[in-house]
Amino acid sequence: MKFIENGPDIPDDLLVARDEGRVLFFCGAGVSLAFAGLSDFLKLAGDVINDLGSLTGSPARRLHAAANTKLPSGEKPFVPVDRMFTLLDLEFDPQEVRDSVARVLKPQSNVELHGHKALIDLSRGSDGRPRLVTTNFDRLFEACNPALTSWGPDNLPVPERPADFEGIIHIHGRVDEDYDAMSEPVVLSSSEFGRAYLSDGWATHYIRRLMDRFKIVFVGYSADDPPVQYLLEALREEQSPVENIYAFQHGDEQHANEQWLQKGVVPVAFGDDYSNLWDTLMAWSERAADPDAWFQRTVLEASAGPSICSPIFRGRIAHLASTLVGMNKVIASDPPMPSTWLYVLDPQVRYLDPAPVKRRDPTSDEFDPFQHLGLDRDEAPPPVDPDDHFERRKVPSGAWTAFEPTPRDVKSATVKDVGSIFGESSPLPRTWRLMLFIVRRMDEAPTLWWAAGLRSAHPQLIQQLEHELRYRLRDSGSVLLPYWRYLITQWRRPPVEATQAAIEIAHRAASGWTASLVREAIELARPRVKVERMFRVAPPMTVDADPTEFMNLDVEYADLHQDFKFDDAHLPLAVSLWRSLLVEAEQLETDIGAWLSIDTTRPDDGERLGGGYGLTGPVVKFTHLVEALEAANPAAAAQEVQAWNGQDGLVFERLRIWAAGRPLLTTIDQAQALFAGMDDETFWSYRHERDLLFAIRDRWAELPDAGRRAIETRILRSPIPYLADHAPTEAEERAAVHRLNAIHWFTRQGIAFGFDVAKERARLLEAAPSWQERWADHTAQPQVGKVRSITTDTDPASILDVPVNKLLPIEVPEEGFRDFKEHDPFAGYALERPAHSVLALHSAMRRGVETAWHYWSTFLRTTAKQKTSARLDTVVVRLVGSLPSDEIAKLWYPLVEWLTERGPRFENGEGGEFDAIWDLVVAAAALHPSGYKQKPGRDWSFESLNSVIGRLVLALLELPLPDGSHAVPAAWLERLDKVLALPGDHARHALHLVAQRTPWFQFHEPAWTEDRVLAKAIVDGPDADAFWSGFARMVRVPPPDLVAQLKAPMLARVGRGGREESNLIGYLLSAWASEGPQQIVFDAELRDALVLGGDDVRRTMLRFVSDWAEDNDRWRALVMPFITKVWPKQRTLRRPQMSSALVRFASSVPQQFAAVMQAVMPGLVPLSIGHDLHLDCEVADLDVVGIAALVTALQRLLPSERGDWPYEGKRLVDAIVATGAAQGPELDELSRRAAERDF
């Protein structure tokens, strides 16, 4: 948690431990330096040297001068200050040295003690008594309160005796009250530090006792200060674990980690401004002085909601939510904290994509969850690809969440919290408070929205929510309650993978169906209400938000991908169960207020429907079941149809229509009664149109004359209800259109009406004169059309006889895409008559045809690969050159393609066509810049090859060089200068392609290459990204001098990831492998890249070495130098992923396996399930020494718990045993552990 802007982020564990009185502050010289202005240890030595008058050039003075000399890096060298006091003890009487220390430490009378007072307040335990340790000799802590007990090294308080353990503990000694001398022996010189921490070790043992009871916090120390160095060294010597130690460190987090992590200390970085530290400590001390008041102020401010709070304040609430005490405060807050704080506690919400506040409102403001809900400790979300509309923000792996157990939660867990095979686990105490927070805010919209994002919930949370619904909220009338009920039902539903379950049922049914198995099969298709958040809508930020604005209710139907083939005996049961399922489905759709719609159940003749979306799917599946019953037992099928008469609603209305078209299911009298009894709204409704018309068509021949006449009269005369609200003239016209469409459709289906069709059509056309026969194509069509492909028809027959001066524009046929074809006759015309096409284009340009550019695009694309005359090409260039740049930008891709095919001819000619087109495209690109798109993993190669400037540059670079020349033609450089000067990504696309040929350009045109290309070879920025991406895609390793020139930025780029990184690593590795003066990259440089680059860099370098060593003797000889001289040995790299990679690398060179493993053995750490343990060779390929090395390695790599072994662990042990080449207790132990679990 942070107390102030830019302040240190204090770990939750440390905050909690301080509140519980389990923190002990160790205060160094920086504490007295900050406000009182006293000396730090180095300045103290200098002051004493001057006070005593040490000889000019004395060892003490020389050492002090060296300590104050800055290195070229700007850092000061590490010089042990305690050594200076040892030298002073040799030059002067040791007592005089200590008296001098006392004198120079004497503070001013009006010394500022704010920092000391803050630390005293922070040091108070739960009993209110202060206790802190200091290595400072001054008595400034005692000056804050003379009543404080002061302790020296001769009489240290006993940590195990809390009643006496309080006050200021001067572990290194202290001055007397008058600052005249030391009041007791002190720890000052090297020998005294050695006795205190190493030989006698009394200070180390004492601090170890403190560490067993407290968390230690270093304040006012650097990592190189003698007290820290001696203490940590002593702990290492006695092999005591260094834990529960924190240190406030000046600088950024990376610098702090470098200083402290390897020492086992947790650093807390506070930046470059020391006020960040002291302002934080003072704010912390205020909190420590009255925690209840601090909690009350915090929760009161939180009542306004998270959106208006700062990330730092939201971090404070996150801290509260991460502790049991804090959650108790949150639960008891008055006024209550709003439910929107749930969003802050959940990283899945904090990292949601920005979304509009109001749906379906293009003017709505956008809500960015990270901006309004993010914590100060959160990583900023990485940029997403703006061109990828499906990419979403990713939640960082370490993002804080309140909803997972913390180590403190787990540590305090009891047996009942863990659960057992007989029952579920109980929620941990803090988690239980979180549940209460949720339950008590059920009537707030944000709680519902947040809960809808959970796939499941703890059973006790569900029970508490149900209890609230049953009692407290029962009569509230809240519009949220139905959503909660559906959501709880959704959570209680057992998770079933329906498709897999259907496959299993089908497998069991192969042995015969049973009634229970049929019920199980139908149950899989049971509809369920699904509750979910609306997509692309911001979360509600008010408690009374309307749930219809942010929640979706939908009925979900399982798509089993499996048609069950029920036997004849069980078909009636299956049909009956499915009928009940349809009744339930329609009722659920009605309950949630859904708009009911069913697509057609009538396939085209000779086809079979496979299903459909939503409710259509189960209805279609039901018709298949009834069809199967119809085939097996027509009487039972007809009886089933009669059972539908008692069912109301859309589903069975549709099914009765469907059955009316099937003679085996309904008699003609029943079908006629259905047709005649249907009300006008149903008859003319679009929702049943296709199924009804097909049913009438299919039974028309059976219908008696009276039945036919009734339908004919209905088609010609019956009212169309939905038109009642229209104006009379409009209603008459629309009614005529409906009747004409129906008559035309029936006529095309072969229906012979009893009335005069021509006469009635003429009558209806008077009311609807605009009607056309093609309108009837939309009659009786499925609501969801088929998936079709669109083909292009380039047949020019329709325009061959049109004069060229009237050819363009070509009139678009009214059919459009209704025949599922794109009609482009000009493309075919251009292929057959290219010269006539140019004349037509010229005519169109003179007549000002607005779409002339479109026809130019068609011409250029179509004739690009066609051989045309030089004269015609020259005319084309001149005509295209007269187009404005805006129109050139519309056709520049086909123009560049056309140029590419004619490039060599244009280049060898004298007409300047190549330059003319080049300049046209460049001018258009200058007017239409391509802005930089910041997105992760940008593929510059793909973009450049598919960009217009990239293709233009390729058209140039693919030209053959003049005969006998290998140099870069001057004209090429002039052209490249133009594209490299373009704005934005246009220039970067050109740079990428030029960078791929850097060695060639540098060899022939070094000055131009240095200025135009290598100047972009920097570390950061979009230009650098484009350059390095191209440079890394060269077909061979660049020349040594080029690698030497670019080594520094290349090394700096390694570790950033990206598509080019692998090849850059290869270049550097090749440069390292050069011998003698030719070696460009040295061991230390490559090692630094491995240390700083990350696991991907390390794995890539191992892969290169192993691949090259496979078939190259020189690289095989470099394997051991690489491993022994280059491969890093830092403890931070001793991780399972690297252990796995090293074993695999060693196995890629079986003859050197033992030597490699011996070199890396100290860095191997245990693997576990999920880690790779793969060899690139067989165990039998190793020699005896190699197998012995593998056994030793497996002892380190395989965990003691057999169940945690990696997948390949047992196989490797068995393979070793099978070779018979290794024996001994180590292998026996591995074999025993491998046999413990064999499944």
Which structure tokens are listed for 385?
């690809």
- Going by their DSSP bridges, the two strands 355-356 and 366-367 should be labelled as antiparallel
Backbone angle region of 1058, left / alpha / beta, with phi > 0 → left and psi within -120 to 50 → alpha: left
Distance CA 1055, CA 1095 (A): 9
DSSP for 320-355 reads HHTSHHHHHHHHT-SSPPPTTHHHHH-HHHHTPPPE
pLDDT above 50 (res 1239):
no
Candidate from 74-78, 383-387, 549-553, 723-727 with smallest mean pLDDT: 74-78
pLDDT of residue 898: 97
**pLDDT, tens digit, for every residue of 1205-1231?**
998 899 999 999 999 888 888 999 999
Do 279 and 305 share a domain, yes or no? no
Do 799 and 815 share a domain, yes or no? yes
Distance CA 984, CA 1001 (A): 23
843 is a domain residue? yes
Distance CA 943, CA 984 (A): 13
Do 368 and 233 share a domain, yes or no? no
Q: Please report which confidence band the pLDDT of residue 1237 belongs to, taking 50, 70 and 90 as the band edges.
A: low
498 is a domain residue? no
Query: Considering 857, 889, 918, which residue would you say is the last residue of a domain?
Result: 918
Tell which residue, 216, 222, 189, 219, has the closest CA to residue 204: 216
Query: Considering 417, 441, 465, which residue would you say is the last residue of a domain?
Result: 441
407 is a domain residue? yes
Do 269 and 163 share a domain, yes or no? yes
Average pLDDT over residues 895-909: 94
1152 is a domain residue? yes
Q: Which three-class secondary structure state does DSSP give residue 740? A: helix
**pLDDT, tens digit, for every residue of 379-438?**
999 877 777 777 889 999 889 999 999 988 888 877 777 776 777 788 899 999 999 999
Q: Please report which confidence band the pLDDT of residue 238 belongs to, taking 50, 70 and 90 as the band edges.
A: low
Q: How far is CA 440 from the centre of its chain?
A: 33
647 is a domain residue? no
**pLDDT, tens digit, for every residue of 821-842?**
888 999 999 999 999 999 999 9
pLDDT above 60 (res 815):
no
pLDDT of residue 72: 63
Do 284 and 145 share a domain, yes or no? yes
Do 154 and 179 share a domain, yes or no? yes
Candidate from 4-18, 138-152, 376-390 with smallest mean pLDDT: 376-390
pLDDT above 80 (res 921):
yes
Cis bond upstream, residue 386 (ω within 30): no
The number of beta carbons lying within 10 Å of the beta carbon of residue 549 is 15
Do 133 and 63 share a domain, yes or no? no
Candidate from 170-179, 345-354, 686-695, 814-823 with smallest mean pLDDT: 814-823
**pLDDT, tens digit, for every residue of 746-792?**
999 999 999 999 999 999 999 999 999 989 988 999 988 677 778 88
pLDDT above 90 (res 672):
yes
Candidate from 139-148, 483-492, 860-869, 962-971 with smallest mean pLDDT: 962-971
Tell which residue, 806, 858, 854, 805, has the closest CA to residue 829: 858
Q: Which three-class secondary structure state does DSSP give residue 151? A: strand
**pLDDT, tens digit, for every residue of 868-878?**
999 999 999 99
Do 135 and 244 share a domain, yes or no? yes
pLDDT above 60 (res 936):
yes
Do 187 and 153 share a domain, yes or no? yes
477 is a domain residue? no
DSSP for 843-896 reads HHHHTT-TTHHHHHHHHHHHHTTS---HHHHHHHHHHHHTS-HHHHHHHHHHHH
With a CB cutoff of 8 Å and minimum separation 6, the contacts of 1205 are: 1167, 1168, 1169, 1198, 1199, 1234
862, 830 contact by CB (below 8 A): yes
487 is a domain residue? no
Average pLDDT over residues 220-227: 89
Average pLDDT over residues 784-812: 87
Report percent pLDDT > 70 for the chain. 97
pLDDT above 90 (res 530):
yes
pLDDT of residue 79: 81
Query: Considering 890, 918, 946, which residue would you say is the last residue of a domain?
Result: 918
Report percent pLDDT > 90 for the chain. 77
Do 122 and 203 share a domain, yes or no? yes
- Structural domain tally of the chain? 5
Do 282 and 317 share a domain, yes or no? no
Do 277 and 317 share a domain, yes or no? no
pLDDT mean across residues, the chain: 92
392 is a domain residue? yes
| CATH at residue 129 | 3.40.50.1220
Domain span at residue 867?
A: 791-918
With a CB cutoff of 8 Å and minimum separation 6, the contacts of 364 are: 356, 357, 358
Residue 18's identity, in one-letter code, is R
**pLDDT, tens digit, for every residue of 155-197?**
999 999 988 899 999 999 999 999 999 988 899 999 999 999 9
